[in-house]
Amino acid sequence: EYKKKTKKDTSHSKPQKTSYLTFFPYEHFRRDQERIIKQIEKASVEKKNSLLAAPNGTGKTIIALSAILPLAFKKNLKILYLCRTHSQNTRIIKELTKISTHLRYSDINIKVNGLSIRGRNEMCLNEVLLSLKLNPRESMAVCSDLRKNRSCKFFLNLIKKRDQYDNLINIAPEIFNKPVDAEDLIKFCMDKKLCPYFLSKFLLKDMKLIICNYQWLFNPFIRKFKFLSFNRIIKKKLIRFPENI
């Protein structure tokens, strides 16, 4: 069932020297994990698609992340990880956190961060917008009016923070230099009275892994109008779909 992981050199710090062994955070491989990782890694380098169908417990998430993170760092690419549910998003963040912790305690000079994102209605803290119970397009219009009229304290506070920092990760580097789940981002923003939706938007450019619903990529309205920066981000990406697409 398990195969001991090959001992790896942890003295390197340059991304181009990494392999799947750098990012795999567990002591042992489950059966067939290493073989599948190598196949996905090879396909990614050759710019080919991979399709993995395997039962629960195979470790598909850690297989995918370990296989494509080396190429993402070597080629300076972002990883766009598409999921169907919020609980799936959270599982990806948990696995990425294990990788991040593994790198830190292995003295490997690589930082892996990531962010799971949600829609405006699910992240907004503005009482006026929430009380109206609008659909996404209506929410976008109301949000725009609130911002233009300087009537959203959460957005105004965020803009003040953005003016103070060259990089918004520095608002809370102990949080945003690591993988962050949308729930944790929302809690942070509630405490600091900031807009979670636009903070997530501003942070995207500095995130190695972006986790979101399929609609963020496939719905042209969302991609073009709701998240204008998303079009620019996905031009250089590796895309990973979950097992139950």
Per-residue confidence (pLDDT) for residue 88, from 0 to 100: 87
pLDDT at 17: 65
Residue of 189, 149, 190 whose CA lies nearest to 172: 189
Q: Read off the pLDDT band of 190 (50, 70, 90).
A: very high
- Of the pLDDT bands very low, low, confident and very high (cuts 50, 70, 90), residue 122 is very high
Structure tokens at 207: 């995130």
Residue 232 pLDDT > 80 = no
Neighbouring-strand partners of residue 83: 213
Task: Read off the pLDDT of residues 61-86 as tens digits, 9 standing for 90 and up.
Answer: 999 999 999 999 998 888 989 888 88
pLDDT beyond 90 at 223: no
> According to the model, what pLDDT value does residue 37 have?
93
Residue 245's pLDDT is what?
40
Per-residue pLDDT, 16: 42
Strand partners, 34: none
pLDDT at 166 over 60: yes
Do residues 115 and 204 make contact, with C-beta atoms less than 8 angstroms apart? yes
What's this model's pTM, rounded to 2 decimal places? 0.82
What pLDDT was estimated at residue 12?
Answer: 34
Helix axes 196-203, 182-192, angle to 10 degrees: 120
Q: How confident is the model at residue 239 (pLDDT cuts 50, 70, 90)?
A: low
Q: What is the DSSP string of 136-148?
A: HHHHHHHHHHHHH
Q: Smallest Cα–Cα separation from 133: which of 148, 121, 118?
A: 121
213 in Cβ contact with 242 (< 8 Å) = no
Task: Say which residue, 30 or 194, is predicted with more confidence.
Answer: 194
Contacts of 164 (CB under 8 A, 6+ apart): none
Q: CA triplet 176, 110, 67: central angle to 5 degrees? A: 100
pLDDT band for 182, please (50, 70, 90 cuts).
very high
Q: Would you kindly state where each structural domain of the chain is located, as residue ranges?
A: 18-112+208-244, 116-206
C-alpha distances out from residue 127 to 55, 159, 195, 240, Å: 43, 19, 12, 35
**Mean of per-residue pLDDT scores for the chain:** 84
Pick the CATH number of 18-112+208-244 from 3.30.565.10, 3.40.50.300, 3.30.2310.20, 3.90.25.10: 3.40.50.300
User: Is pLDDT at 240 greater than 90 in this prediction?
Assistant: no
User: Is the CB of residue 230 less than 8 Å from the CB of residue 219?
Assistant: no
- Quick check: 229 pLDDT over 60? no
Cα 119 versus chain centre, distance: 14
Alpha carbon distance 197, 9 (integer Å): 40
Q: With pLDDT > 70 as the criterion, what percentage of the chain qualifies?
A: 83
Q: Mean per-residue pLDDT for 133-153?
A: 93
Query: Quick check: 111 and 103 in contact, CB under 8 A?
Result: yes
- Residues 33-55 pLDDT 10s: 999 999 999 998 898 888 888 88
Q: Do 217 and 239 meet the contact criterion of CB atoms below 8 Å apart?
A: yes
State how beta strands 114-116 and 28-30 pair. unpaired
> Could you give the residue ranges of the DSSP H alpha helices within 57-214?
60-74, 86-105, 120-123, 127-132, 136-148, 153-164, 173-176, 182-192, 196-203
